[in-house]
Homo-oligomer: A and B are copies of this chain.
Amino acid sequence: MKVALKKLSIITERLLREEIIELIRRKGATGFTFAKVEGQGSRGVRASEWEGRNLKFEVIVSTETADAILTEIADRYFENYAVIAWITSVEVLRGHKFVAP
């Protein structure tokens, strides 16, 4: 049976890698992936635009965990770092794999 969960995607400067991993784990995610991406932001929009090579994290979690991670990322990084994040609704089989016991 399929279960509705959330996928949280985070694009971040590489220097935040360990901080993001710590945050994701602390909030209860059971796993995550990341991959290198290149990106550009418009200089007209905000001061600390992300340019060049970044990391994209993906983590499948409950709605509550997705919101908790997203909120902390916004509070800690949106002001002074080039970080963006978004939440997508997904369906999985065997949802227990994605929720800490």
Instruction: Give the contact-size bracket for chain A.
Output: 35 or more
Give every chain B residue within 8 A of A56 (Cβ-Cβ): 33, 35
Q: Give min CB distance, A44 to chain B, whole Å.
A: 7
Contacts of A74 in B (CB 8 A): 93-94
**Distance A56 CA – B67 CA, assembled complex (angstroms):** 24
In the complex, residue of chain B having the shortest beta-carbon distance to the beta carbon of A36: B35
- Whether B54 contacts A33 by the Cβ 8 Å rule is yes
- Residues in B neighbouring A30, C-beta threshold 8 A: 41-42, 45
* Binary contact readout A77-99 vs B (1 if CB under 8 angstroms, 0 otherwise): 01000001111111111100110
Known pairs A30-B41, A31-B40, A41-B30; A92 contacts B84 (CB<8 A): yes
Q: For A83, give the chain B residue with the smallest CB separation.
A: B97
Contact of A39 among B33, B38, B92, B101 (CB under 8 A): B33
